[in-house]
Amino acid sequence: MSQGPQHILVVDDDAQIRRMLRRCLEDEGFAVSESTDGSNIDAALLGAIDLVTLDLNLGRADGLAVARHIRHLSEVPIIMITGKGDMIDRIVGLELGADDYIAKPFHLREVLARIRSVLRRSASAAPRALADNVIRFDGFTLDESRRSLTGPDGNNIELTTGEFDLLLVFARHAHQVLDRDRILDLLKGQNWTPNDRSIDNQVARLRKLIETDTRHPRLIKTVRGAGYSFTPEKIER
């Protein structure tokens, strides 16, 4: 988080929307920077940006590619702005690591409420990340501060933001049965509701990375009719 007023970066190719958001946010005490297509993202993120609002429909630019680039550079919270019917882009954006979404047309009070909610969650998550640095299970090392997973052979296992966050939820709640609603709540709270299939897809990808036999998973087990359970033989926090 930045010192002084919290700083919001508005990425939108619609000048009228940028002006409207800037006026609203500045009236509420936020500092605001703007980008029309994400081309100045790198320079902006070198400053103290606390949150990004990102329109996925940027005209000539690919909003999902911009989201992916932001997440590659930084863990800064992202709120996507999408068209009312853009469910696929919404799900993909959330899987890339966006923190929330707002569908057009939106009300400025909703924008403010969601920004404040995401900023509160981001602030409360920071101390927890420092307290729970490393979780070890069955030869794997999950390092939260580095956001890395090391396999039993000592090699790093590449995870997307969504895969890492899901595995961290499982590791923190080992030997518990978690249904999809509970998993979504643990991941992001109740401010958005992606399709349950996105959880199933990420579980399938995680199994390919950490299971010896994906047809008979030993670590992430499906509990029929109830959800999933993370069941390592040994876990150390």
Fold of 132-236: Arc Repressor Mutant, subunit A (1.10.10)
Residue 129: predicted pLDDT: 45
Residue 92: predicted pLDDT: 80
- Asked whether this chain's domains 7-129 and 132-236 adopt the same fold, the reply is no
Q: Which two tokens stand for residue 28?
A: 């509420």
Cβ(156)–Cβ(148) below 8 Å: yes
Residue 61: predicted pLDDT: 72
Q: Which two tokens stand for residue 152?
A: 């039993």
Cβ(141)–Cβ(150) below 8 Å: yes
CA atoms of 119 and 29, how far apart (whole Å): 14
Residue 9: predicted pLDDT: 93
Architecture of domain 7-129: 3-Layer(aba) Sandwich (3.40)
Residue 112: predicted pLDDT: 94
Count of CB atoms within 10 A of residue 82's CB? 22
Taking Cα atoms as reference points, which of 8, 82, 12, 19 lies closest to residue 45? 8
Mean pLDDT per 10-residue segment, the chain (237 residues): 76 92 95 86 75 86 84 84 75 82 89 91 60 82 90 91 89 90 71 60 94 94 92 88
Residue 124: predicted pLDDT: 66
Enumerate the domain spans of the chain: 7-129, 132-236
